[in-house]
Amino acid sequence: MNGYGLARFFLVGLGLLALAACGERPIDVESLKKEPKKYVGSDTCKLCHLEHYDSWKMTLHSRGLQDAQKNRDVIVAPLDEKVIRADLAKATLKIPVEQVYIPKEEDIKYTMGGQWKQHFLVEKAGKLYIAPIQYNVDSHRWVPYDEGDPDWDKKPWNISCGGCHATGVNIEKNTFVEPGVGCEACHGPGSWHAALPKTAVFEKRQTIINPTKLTMGVAMQICGSCHTRGESTKVKGAAWPVGYQPGKAIGPFFKETTFAAGDVKMVYANEFAKGHHQQYLDWKQSAHYKEGVTCTSCHFVHTIGMPPTRSQTVQAGSKQCLTCHEIINKNLAHSIHSFGNCIGCHMPRIAKSAESGDIHSHVFVCLLPKDSLANPAIPNSCDGCHVFRGEGLEYLQAAWDALVKLPVPVGQPVKMAIPETEAPKEAPKKAEAAKKSPKK
Ligand code: HEC
Ligand code: HEC
Ligand code: HEC
Ligand code: HEC
Ligand code: HEC
Ligand code: HEC
Ligand code: HEC
Ligand code: HEC
């Protein structure tokens, strides 16, 4: 062991001793609370919540921003300049293709994403910037980001993306505590909570945000602080709610995007999301919002043990819907198809992350062909599948209208609890008649 190693060994030992001593000392919560609450990072939470940590590690939240200097493997596709320029040449660009900046792998400080697409951050004069190229994972396609903008190195990353992809971002100091969506992005800064000894269960609970213990509105705004689109009310040009913290209302910090207010790029004319990360804006327009069916009714953020799905849903596919909507009458829309693809109709993929149609609508309303016929700029739930059958919107709407006019099919099992007192009057008569009538 060299001198440095020895010193470290000594320090770690001291730290452990301090921790042990901590358990003995009476808790002085009041003096602890005199210090400002700080972010400590998910690795600190791991010390006591290993299972939550493991499960969170499997989710995309832990990958919102990844350090490519520590681990080059986070880059999902080789940055082959020839291949990239050949792809870029097919797109609309602000400058000639040979002038678009393409980073070298060793210059990439961080990656963003890897599920639908990936972006690459490089550093200039101590600040991070988004390189003007993007890799689309499923279609294996390089596309320009911001049309290959030559001014890419004039828009600091922390202002345009920061707080939604990293935790504890401080724009003024140009720092963040942890890359990705760490524990504290949803639970708030945890220095008080982490400092208390394990045995101080009550004080522990009082010093950290548990979303289930908040009112529904404020709890959902935690998810809504990132799964949204709009602009900061505090920092000009910032696209995230600078200054917001879990447990607080988001209103004072953020102005949400709407079509009505002029954002035709990210929202359809019916206010359904066209851009990605707008689930909260969609959901707020839904019947689910009104009835208290929230993000966490359908999504887990961490579970104990193996996750049920890799898209953080409590159940796979349409089973998810059937856990609550047990009975879907086989009439109208629900009689046409031989399969019950609830998500296909009620959550059409009409928003875009990498390629158009890779993100689900969260308004949960089935868009009919007539919605698109009235305004071609509004998509529908049907032609995504029916285009392959060569059926036009007029035909589909006509078939739909004809079906809607049909009476409710007879003989379909309709599960209804009939209260005893309202039992059909003919029943006893029939029974009596049966008694009276001679046997055949
Ligand atoms: C020194 C151990 C320790 C550390 C470090 C720690 N916790 Fe805890 N945490 C606990 C204990 C003990 C409880 C109380 C368990 C109970 O309620 O039965 C708790 C409870 C919680 C709760 C539930 C609170 C409630 O009201 O139900 C949350 C959420 C939580 N911790 C998150 C975190 C986060 C986030 C971090 C990192 C910033 C963290 N913890 C760090 C020990 C720790
Ligand atoms: C994306 C938001 C989010 C992130 C990130 C997150 N949590 Fe949670 N956490 C929640 C929500 C919401 C709940 C409420 C219970 C639920 O719905 O699972 C919760 C509940 C908890 C609880 C209370 C006990 C329980 O299981 O209900 C603990 C402890 C906890 N989280 C620890 C952590 C730790 C440790 C991390 C990081 C490794 C973390 N959380 C990351 C949102 C998050
Ligand atoms: C600090 C910002 C932030 C907060 C708060 C946040 N998310 Fe996320 N969420 C993200 C980002 C960023 C991603 C995508 C990360 C990536 O792919 O690199 C994501 C991804 C997801 C996904 C996609 C999972 C998949 O595999 O397809 C779900 C579902 C999700 N979040 C639900 C929630 C819920 C529910 C909450 C609230 C309890 C929440 N998020 C809070 C930023 C956030
Ligand atoms: C208001 C919060 C917010 C801001 C600001 C934001 N993002 Fe995201 N981003 C998210 C969320 C949430 C997701 C995951 C859900 C989705 O895409 O629908 C996501 C997804 C992504 C993905 C795809 C992740 C994957 O795994 O494929 C990339 C790449 C990305 N963002 C890059 C950026 C860049 C670059 C910026 C800045 C120019 C930025 N984001 C700004 C919230 C945000
Ligand atoms: C009624 C159930 C339900 C509710 C409520 C719900 N989601 Fe989803 N969400 C889903 C389903 C189903 C998917 C598709 C999952 C898949 O591809 O397997 C999904 C997908 C996602 C994705 C991944 C992107 C995509 O389109 O595939 C994100 C991110 C997400 N939801 C975030 C949220 C957030 C944030 C909220 C709350 C504002 C929310 N969801 C509310 C059911 C729901
Ligand atoms: C946690 C329970 C729960 C889950 C899971 C759930 N729903 Fe719902 N849903 C409700 C409740 C409650 C209502 C409001 C009362 C009602 O109309 O039945 C509702 C209403 C609806 C409506 C009526 C919308 C309107 O405008 O009247 C549709 C459509 C719907 N849900 C579709 C879905 C789909 C699709 C899924 C799966 C992705 C799903 N639901 C998952 C509980 C749930
Ligand atoms: C062919 C497309 C289609 C499919 C598949 C579909 N729905 Fe619907 N559903 C509709 C339409 C259209 C309506 C009328 C209201 C609307 O516009 O959302 C509707 C209405 C509803 C309602 C509102 C109450 C009612 O019965 O009128 C619920 C709840 C619902 N669907 C749930 C589901 C569930 C759960 C599944 C999967 C088993 C499913 N739907 C499959 C198109 C569909
Ligand atoms: C997930 C893919 C999918 C979606 C979404 C979908 N369909 Fe279909 N549709 C099919 C398939 C496959 C068939 C034939 C097999 C069957 O009936 O199951 C079909 C059959 C039909 C039929 C029967 C008559 C015919 O033309 O063959 C009608 C009418 C119809 N769909 C209308 C609609 C309408 C209207 C919508 C939107 C509200 C819609 N579908 C959404 C896949 C889909």
What are the pLDDT digits (tens) for 17-54?
A: 444 444 445 667 788 889 999 999 999 999 999 999 99
DSSP code of residue 439: P
Which of 320, 337, 346 has most ligand 7 atoms within 8 Å of CB, for mutation?
346
DSSP code of residue 27: P
Structure tokens at 385: 């599948």
Structure tokens at 437: 């009538």
Q: Is the CB of 205 under 6 A from ligand 1?
A: yes
Half-sphere exposure of 354 (CA within 13 A, CB side): 20
- Using one digit for the tens of pLDDT, what is the confidence trace for 337-355? 888 889 999 999 999 999 9
Q: Which atom of ligand 1 is nearest to the CA of 210?
A: 29
- Using one digit for the tens of pLDDT, what is the confidence trace for 262-282? 999 999 999 999 999 999 999
The pLDDT of residue 14 is 40
158 Cα to the center of ligand 2, angstroms: 25
Q: Is the CB of 210 under 6 A from ligand 1?
A: yes
Q: Which residues contact 120 (CB under 8 A, 6 or more apart)?
A: 68, 75, 79, 103, 108, 110, 111, 112, 130, 131, 133
- What is the reported pTM? 0.92
Mean pLDDT in the chain?
88
Segment holding 67, helix H or strand E: strand 66-67
Say yes or no to pLDDT of 132 above 70: yes
Say yes or no to pLDDT of 308 above 60: yes
Q: Kindly tell me the burial class for residue 119, based on how many C-beta atoms sit within 10 Å of its own C-beta (0-12, 13-18, 19 or more).
A: buried
Q: Is the CB of 121 under 6 A from ligand 4?
A: no
Minimum-distance ligand to the CA of 287? 6
Weakest-pLDDT range from 115-129, 347-361, 417-431: 417-431
Q: Which atom of ligand 6 is nearest to the CA of 347?
A: 35
Which of 49, 165, 183, 198 has most ligand 2 atoms within 8 Å of CB, for mutation?
183
Q: Which atom of ligand 5 is nearest to the CA of 364?
A: 1
Minimum-distance ligand to the CA of 346? 6
Residue nearest to atom 25 of ligand 3 (CA): 311
233 Cα to the center of ligand 1, angstroms: 32
